[in-house]
Amino acid sequence: MITAIVGLGWGDEGKGKIAHIESQNNDVVVRYNGGANAGHTICLDDDIFKLHHIPAGAVASNEPDLVLTHGVVINPVSMVEEIRQLRRSNIDIADRLRISDRAHCVMPWHIAADVRKGGKIGTTKKGIGPCYADKMHRSNAIRMGDLRKKLDDERTQRFFAVDETFHGQGLWQQYKEAAEFLQPMIFDTGQLLRNAVGSGLNILFEGANGILLDVDFGTFPYCTSSGVGPAAIPQSCGLPNLHLDRIIGIIKCYATRVGEGPFPSEIITPEDEQLLSTCMSESSWFKHTNRPYPIAAKEMSHLIREKGNEYGTTTGRPRRIGWLDLGLTRESVALTGTTEIALMHADTLAGIEGIKMYDDGSLIDIPSYDLDDDIHFRTHFVGKVNAYCGPVSMYSYGPDASEVCLL
């Protein structure tokens, strides 16, 4: 069985939890895009794991093999720290982590460039976009397979020394030590994955970000720098003939977005309307829509944010809050080929009066529900998503990995 997990929104949908659950049934768990700009949070009893590069299968009890393909960009220093952080929780993944020798390295100058320029489009300032740009420029790019050699190159050392942003020799030494630490984990992951597929192993492909942040299909230019959906897997993994048996699309019972960019169903206050209108007028994504934009109480947005702990895993930034947009979700399902939907954060909206969904320019009222007796939730909420977007196979009713109901 070959499965992919993909976000149907702007990221932060809860993919990490479902990826962890699905990892228990897989031999190999693969991360195929993005970098340390994406964070997956997994709650296991009293332990909370916040992963950035490493797949959610890292904390699965069956200890699957973990693969980072050449579609991922890697900060070697923060990758080492992530591995060591897991070791402090008695989880050692070094013997089962495989990193592509073709994966590109996020270097200090990428982070510096992102800090200077990334604010205009709301990036996480982790150097991801500039690293992908250097990948396309080729001449200045450094890949994991030649990291140690390139660090000793005179030109690279000059990069470290020339700007105080890079902290000179001390930071160069950190990268050198990280390169040596990671060296035993660097492989030709394309060949490894082709062998795994040929052997009939169960493989889980774990996407980062969400399809509405895809560099081609997302709300450009307010998007990420890589392909996000399952269509990106063959190129990013070296699997040209890959067939996916299941594609699980993850969406919250409401919508969130971090940073800048259009957000049609956002719950906003009247004083925010002018700012949103300005944003919309500058984005080509809105030029072919005529939908109205709902205004609702600031208190509702604040309530959902606090109840759902809607703060970025990577940046800590408060997430913008909106209603579930059925029209966009339908589009996301089509773009990703989703075969089943996982609804997250059902507990966050439980007990709240005035729940709505958004579709084709209209707000739809949804009856409040109590998950102790979930007939209303299944009838009015899950039923609406089933009818408009496709089959819901599970929903999450709490933060812990065990708090999922299969339908």
Closest by CA to 74, choosing from 120, 131, 152, is 131
Catalytic residue among 20, 40, 52, 104: 40
Beta strand 404-406 with 392-396: parallel, antiparallel or unpaired? antiparallel
Distances (CA, A) of 378 to 357, 364, 381, 393: 15, 16, 6, 12
Catalytic (active site) residue 288: no
Query: Shortest CA distance to 97 belongs to which of 141, 59, 50?
Result: 59
**3-state SS, one letter per residue, for the chain:** CEEEEEECCCCCCCHHHHHHHHHCCCCEEEECCECCCCCEEEEECCEEEEECCCCHHHHCCCCCEEEECCCEEECHHHHHHHHHHHHHCCCCCCCCEEEECCCEECCHHHHHHHHHHHHHHCCCCCCHHHHHHHHHHCCCCCEHHHHHHHHCCHHHHHHHHHCHHHCHHHHHHHHHHHHHHHHHHEECHHHHHHHHHHCCCCEEEECCCCHHHCCCCCCCCCCCCCCCCHHHHHHHHCCCCCCCCEEEEEEECEEEECCCCCCCCECECHHHHHHHHHHHHCCHHHCCCCCCCCECCHHHHHHHHHHCCCECCCCCCECEEEEEEHHHHHHHHHHHCCCEEEEECHHHHCCCCCEEEEECCEEEEECCCECCECHHHHHHHHHHHHHHHCCEEEEECCCECCCEEEC
| Catalytic residue list contains 12 | yes
Residue 99 CA to residue 363 CA, distance in Å, equals: 46
Measure the CA–CA gap between 194 and 205, rounded to whole angstroms: 14
Catalytic site residues? 12, 40
